[in-house]
Amino acid sequence: MSNSVYYCGGKNSLSRLTFNKLVSSLGCHIFSARLLHQYHFVDEPMNWTEAQTYCRKKHTDLATIENGEEVMQFRNTFLPFEYNSKVWIGLYSKLNWEWSDGYEGPGADYKKWKVNEPNFYIDNELCVASGGNNDPWHDDPCSKNHRIICNNGAKLDPKFIIVKEGMNWPNAQKYCRENFVDLATLRNDNESLEIQTMVENGWAWIGLFRDPHIYWSDGSSFSFKYWFTGPKPLNSLSLVCGVADLQASGKWTLFPCDRKLPFVCYSTRVIRQVVKLRMKPGDSSVDLNDPAVKEDLLKKFQDRLKTRGVKGVTLKWIKQSDGKVFHKDGKSSQKKKRNKSEL
């Protein structure tokens, strides 16, 4: 079989460069475009749950932002409006504080936070350290190195031990479990004051930490991050919701979900594109219109997309008026005839 032309179409979210690289190794040529979220600003203050309900009814969901291009798309949404403050987006997080040893008995909910703590000041402040000199607890990035407080007694009769070697929270947990019982669990003011006396100055890890997961309302994967560096008061909240601060280039912070704020929804436009490809099979006996062959080709395309981390793409063959997808390239046949006549 000579060179053949075929068509495929479907939802596409690839850049031209990415898709051309994808198919060039298959001997094909293709043109495509990129589809970003379409954002909708709603200047009607609601709490986060009300905003979520509105967006799901009128559009797709509260705004999801998954890369730098979508940050720009999001910010451009506000150009026609005279608004430059905070808006709800689809982020939320459950503040589930736990003790390393799994303690859930009396006093498990005890907290001795420093004023304005916890505040998730920078990304990954998910672990808790206690200060000395009557300086209570604060959340800190788990990667920081601090001294550690281990428990070498029973859960209900702890014996606290300070380890002056600095290490991050995961290594501190491992060290305490290997050499003692676990990181310290503190259930009341007396135990908290005892720890502060042992620390004297600086900070030391205790066993408190929280669920690291942050979610998008539409269930999208949370991998891209655009956090505002600064205080994000969590206080004693068990649930916090995401805000984009337009005065800080749209960077994200966390607020109590019952606040009344304007918000941004998003919708997804389905764009059907006709993509023209030219192929020359290595084996002339292969029938490209064979259903098994067409299915195998589509699978190879989809697998290539997955290996490059491209999501949300569906490829389908489009049949022409005669019911076939592939046709021999007439120009190629004519060229061959001319070459023969010249001989």
For residues 182 and 173, the answer to whether their CB atoms sit within 8 Å is: yes
Residue 309's pLDDT is 63
Q: Based on the domain organization, do 277 and 328 belong to the same domain?
A: yes
Residue 123's pLDDT is 84
Residue 35's pLDDT is 53
Q: Name the β-bridge partners of 242.
A: 254
Q: Based on the domain organization, do 195 and 220 belong to the same domain?
A: no
Distance CA 210, CA 234 (A): 12
* CA dihedral of residues 74, 79, 84, 87 (deg, nearest 10): -30
- Parallel, antiparallel, or unpaired for β 146-151 and 203-210? parallel
Q: How far apart are the first and last CA of the chain?
A: 22
Residue 310's pLDDT is 63
Burial, 66: exposed, middle or buried (Cβ in 10 Å; 0-12, 13-18, 19+)?
Answer: middle
Residue 253's pLDDT is 96
Q: Based on the domain organization, do 166 and 242 belong to the same domain?
A: no
- Mapped onto helix, strand or coil, the DSSP state of residue 264 is strand
Q: Based on the domain organization, do 156 and 252 belong to the same domain?
A: no
- Mapped onto helix, strand or coil, the DSSP state of residue 27 is coil
How many domains does one find in the chain? 3
Distance CA 290, CA 268 (A): 34
Q: Based on the domain organization, do 161 and 185 belong to the same domain?
A: yes
pLDDT tens-digit profile of 117-148? Answer: 999 999 889 999 999 888 899 999 999 999 99
> Residues with Cβ < 8 Å from 219, sequence gap 6 or more?
none
Tokens 């620390």, located at residue: 199
| Token duo for residue 10 | 């479907």
Q: Based on the domain organization, do 330 and 286 belong to the same domain?
A: yes
Q: Based on the domain organization, do 196 and 125 belong to the same domain?
A: yes
Name the stretches of the chain with pLDDT < 50. Answer: 1-34, 332-333, 336, 340-343
- Parallel, antiparallel, or unpaired for β 4-9 and 61-62? unpaired
Boundary of a domain, candidates 221, 250, 267: 267
pLDDT tens-digit profile of 221-280? Answer: 889 999 999 999 898 899 999 999 999 999 999 999 999 999 999 998 655 666 667 666
Domain hosting 243: range is 38-94+213-267
Q: Based on the domain organization, do 192 and 130 belong to the same domain?
A: yes
Q: Based on the domain organization, do 287 and 336 belong to the same domain?
A: yes
Q: In this structure, what CATH number is given to the domain that contains residue 290?
A: 3.30.70
Q: Based on the domain organization, do 218 and 230 belong to the same domain?
A: yes
Residue 299's pLDDT is 83
Question: From start to end of 23-65, where are the E strands?
Answer: 38-46, 61-62
Q: Based on the domain organization, do 24 and 156 belong to the same domain?
A: no
Q: Based on the domain organization, do 234 and 85 belong to the same domain?
A: yes
Residue 320's pLDDT is 76
User: Using CA of residue 246, residue 248, residue 252, residue 253, what is the dihedral sign?
Assistant: negative
- Mapped onto helix, strand or coil, the DSSP state of residue 341 is helix
